[in-house]
Structure 1
Amino acid sequence: MEVVLRATAMFAVVYLLVRVLGKRELGQMTPFEFIVMVVVGDLIQQGITQNDFSLTGATLAISTFAFWGVVLSWAAYLSPKAERLLEGEPRVLIQHGQLLEHSLRRDRLTRSEIESEMRLAGIASMGDVAWAVLEPNGKISFIKQEEGAQEPSRQQNDQAAG
């Protein structure tokens, strides 16, 4: 029973740690961040099983993690409030071609990271982006400006000049 309690406590710690660390995808991690995550995994195992190297201890620990994963998944599925709390909400990073610095700061993203993701999506310029949204899973969704559409600040400048 001690293994189950330890696994429950470690699950809570890991879950909170992942939420605090932010919405980075595995592919966006630096090599150092990846190594840290592997080491954390080993430390978690040591903290849960201590000197219990039995098959039963390992099965209990893994089953406890799986159980809490399923419980949180069902909670998010059944309750929109729980979903927002557990999985987070999408955050707008670019709006009508303008980078929203406060959103970048909150998620510890840099302009170069956004530009890199834009290039991967086949977008050459920030002015071509109507919306860029950081999804709860860590991916960035881009919605291009419609052909012939300009960002609001350009439209206002054109109207004022004309």
Structure 2
Amino acid sequence: MEIVLRATAMFAVLYLLVRLLGKRELGQMTPFEFIVMVVIGDLIQQGVTQNDFSLTGATLAVGTFALWGLVLSWLSYLSPRAARVLEGEPRVIVRHGKVLDDNRRRDRLTRMEIESEMRLAGIARLEDVAWAMLEPNGKISFIKRDPPRGELAEKD
């Protein structure tokens, strides 16, 4: 039973840590950050199972993490309010070609990161972006502006 309680406590700590890291950090990890996450995983295992290296102890720890993941998933599925709290909401970072600096700073995004993601999405100029949203998973989605009617006629 002690392993289940320890696993529950570590699940809560890990969940809060991931939420505090922010959306962007999870969307693009550097190799060093990936290694740090692997090390954190090992430290969590040591804290949860202590000196219990048995198959039963490992199964209880993994099962407890899986159970809490499932509980939070169902809670998000059943309640839109819970989903907003647990998973976060998308945030507008560009509106009508203008970067919203307050939202950008809130998620610790640089203009260079936004411009890099724009290029990956095939958008050359900030003025061509109607909306850019930082999604809860850390990715940026872009909606292009409609071209002015004169440009549309020239292409035909």
- Structure scoring higher RCO (CA < 8 A, sep ≥ 6) equals 2
1:26 CA displacement: 5.2
Per the alignment, residue 29 of structure 2 pairs with 29
- Provide the rounded CA distance (Å) in 2 between the counterparts of 1:37 and 1:5: 22
State the SS of the aligned residue for 1:24: helix
Match of 1:100 in 2: 100
Q: Which runs of 5+ in 2 are unaligned?
A: 150-156
> What's the offset of the Cα at 1:31?
2.2
Q: Which runs of 5+ in 1 are unaligned?
A: 150-162
Contact conserved, 1:25 with 1:139, CA < 8 A, in 2? no
1:11-50 per-residue CA deviation (whole Å, 9 max, x = no partner) reads: 0000000000011365611222212111111110110011
**In 1: Cα distance, 2:24 partner to 2:34 partner:** 11
TM-score computed with the length of structure 1 as normaliser: 0.88
Offset, 1:114: 0.7
Q: Distance in 2 between matches of 1:26 and 1:17?
A: 11
Q: Does 1:111 find its partner at 2:74?
A: no
Measured against aligned partners, the alpha-carbon deviations of 1:43-90 in whole angstroms (never above 9, x if no partner) come to: 101100110011110010000000000000000110111000000011
| Ranges of 4+ aligned residues in structure 1 off by more than 6 Å | none
- In the alignment, the residues of structure 1 paired with residue 102 and residue 11 of structure 2 have an alpha-carbon distance, to the nearest angstrom, of 31
TM-score, with length taken from structure 2: 0.92
Percent identity for Structure 1 against Structure 2: 78
Quick one: distance in 2 between partners of 1:57 and 1:138?
34
The Cα offsets for residues 98-134 of structure 1, whole Å up to 9 and x where unpaired, read as 0011111111111111111111100101111000001
In structure 2, the CA distance between the partners of 1:102 and 1:27, relative to structure 1 (3 Å rule), is: closer
What one-letter code is carried by the residue in structure 1 that aligns with 2:78? L
RMSD (CA atoms): 1.3
Provide the rounded CA distance (Å) in 1 between the counterparts of 2:61 and 2:88.
27
